[in-house]
Structure 1
Amino acid sequence: MKKLKTALLSYGMSGKVFHAPFLEMHPGFELTGSWERSKKLIQQDYPSVKSYSSLEELLADDADLIIVNTPVDTHYEYAKKVLEAGKHALVEKAFTTTVAEAEQLDILAKQKGLKLAVFQNRRWDSDLKTVKQVLDQNLLGEVVESEFRFDRYNPNLSPKAWKEDSNPGAGILMDLGPHLIDQAVYLFGFPEAVFADIRKLRENSRVDDDFSIVLYYPDKRVKLHAGFFVREGVPAYVVHGRKGSFLKQRGDTQEDVLKTGQKPNLDDWGTEPEDKAGFLHTEHDGELFRKNIPTQQGNYYSLFDGLYKAITEDTQEPVTAEDGIRVMKIIEAAQQSSKEKRVIALK
């Protein structure tokens, strides 16, 4: 199996938790190192890799794939340099800060014959995979309304200054918004129009920290919400169809387990507790029934495996630049909608 030499552009939480463990696990990747600006930590976990002192040093090395996992407002600049250096790129969400930036990266990658993917890992969350299974099996009939939420209770500002600085890549719309928007488009396609209400609710917040978005489709509406003032959670996924409803609380275990330092596997990884099962109330063959639906197994390994095949077999990326562009179009429309207090049509 061909080894793809892969480097990270940072080794903070995302590099340590979401990327390095899966690169180590997959037989097709070889982690070569990370750009580390101040703290030199990667060699504590992976002694044989390099700690690069600059982006130029990293790009001059022989890596095949670069993971752009730096703050959002740097994604365009760094991804552009990566592609110009002839390297494939996996870019964290949000893909960029504007649609124009996303489109320019897509054009550049195609011109260079390189793979450009977006790290929308939560398509492979156990809860979202279960929702998709219910839809694929047509257990609800034609969907008329859905609501996806990513709620927390945390009224305090983040100690990470870059998360609270007012820049184009900061705020909850750029942080959690891409997850919810990508999941909605992944399941239901690109909407016709958007309405949004984006707010700053925490005391002294300089960035948006609460949003409600409505995506309009010809036959349904999809509501998305994220915020920091939900102490008592409600189901994270609610889908209503003409025959029934499915409710599922957020239950994916991967992030919490990865933060403890546990390594992923292909056996029981991403398995939710049974009490997190979703609830289905629907009709089948004229009979009503109410029952729990076992949760699908989640595993971010599938994203990395799909990216490996895209590069080595020239197949489509697991999450394409076009997917990232669509998410950015909805984000820009949501920002305009909230500012102007009106529905924005999408093109």
Structure 2
Amino acid sequence: MIFGYLWINCFSTLEYDHRLGGFSAAVSAIAFLLPALFTSSPIRQRYVLSKELLGRLLISILLFAAATMAVAALYNFRLVGIEDIYNFREQLDFPTFISYSIGIASAALLPFAYACFIARRNYWLAAAVLLLLLLYYPITLSKLAFFTPAWLVAMTLLARLVEARTAVILSLLLPLLAGLLLVVHKTADATIPITDAVRYFYTVNFRILAVPAAAMDVYSDFFSKHELTHFCQISFLKRFVACPYQDQMSIVMERAYKLGNFNASMFATEGIASMGLWLAPIALFGCGLVIALGNRLSAGLPPGFILVSGAVFPQILLNVPLSVALVTHGGAVLFLLWYITPRTMFEPDAADTA
């Protein structure tokens, strides 16, 4: 995302200090990665679930996710194609508790349960998780909900076939390479319909990387001319401090640029919007500390398990602020689940006796 923004920054026609924007983005990336990658202080497990309690927790997750889906379906359930979801997204209106439950269940609880069932070789229950996740699509009309089941299966296969770090690189390289090849082959009169090639390229190559990078460009322009948020975009803080923006940042950006409800990552929101281009690296250093905490809470778990159970989280981090990812989408819940997961579950004979 950062490299994408640095590229866009060279050609952007938006009027702000592009040299400062590029410098701020590069330093922010370093400030984020230093604590996120190099914090190695151990955190002792003071509470660990027994295998029996873990099993009950996993069944409880399935029941909670199913109940959330059933209640949410009373407010919205539409079977529409991906290209038509934006015709109905504005009509979605869930109670606050249901909205939080949907985000936490689909992004944190169910992927964690799926990874545990795979580790315990409970493949039928893992399949049930995938079905539940797919059923969240007609409720949320979200591309992420639609692709999450396939994404979890792909990450499972990658984690089995190659080492975890290689799997991470391939998880980014292969989908993007497929989009490029589709476009190249179509220009060479391939048999793939142009609509399918363009749809894939837009959904994967453009939406995953280009849009989050473009959001940094848009936010840099907007907050070079408007008052900073000073973190008041966090709903909880609006109760205690005066905020120049009463609406969500995505709505503010839609009114200013007419690009749709434009959410953005921590680099744009906690960084640029909250502290400005000069001080954004300080905010991103703090965000890196939060991710470092998650890393330490997962210490001792197999890399493949972390990769699969947290497979949805990077996609969320690219598109929403860190505070939203932790609370609304259950990132903090996922960190806690990693912390209390029994490491003995992954011993050679544990899966056969679980």
Superposition TM-score tier, normalisation by shorter sequence: under 0.3
Flag the structure with higher helix content: 2
Normalization by structure 2: what TM-score?
0.21
Give the structure-1-normalised TM-score. Answer: 0.21
If asked which structure has higher relative contact order (CA below 8 Å, sep 6+), I would say: 2
**Which one has the bigger strand percentage?**
1
